[in-house]
Amino acid sequence: MGNVINLRQARKARQRTDKAREAEANRAKFGRTKAQKAADAAEEQKKTSRLDGAYREDRSNMDDE
Answering whether pTM is above 0.75, one says no
Is the CA virtual torsion 32, 37, 39, 44 positive or negative? positive
Q: 18 pLDDT exceeds 80?
A: yes
Q: 62 pLDDT exceeds 70?
A: no
**Confidence at 14, pLDDT banded by 50, 70, 90:** very high
- The pLDDT assigned to 53 comes to 78
Domain chopping of the chain, boundaries? 7-53
Exposure string (b/e) for 17-55, b if CB count within 10 Å is 16 or more?
eeeeeeeeeeeeeeeeeeeeeeeeeeeeeeeeeeeeeee
Q: Tell me the three state secondary structure of residue 25.
A: helix
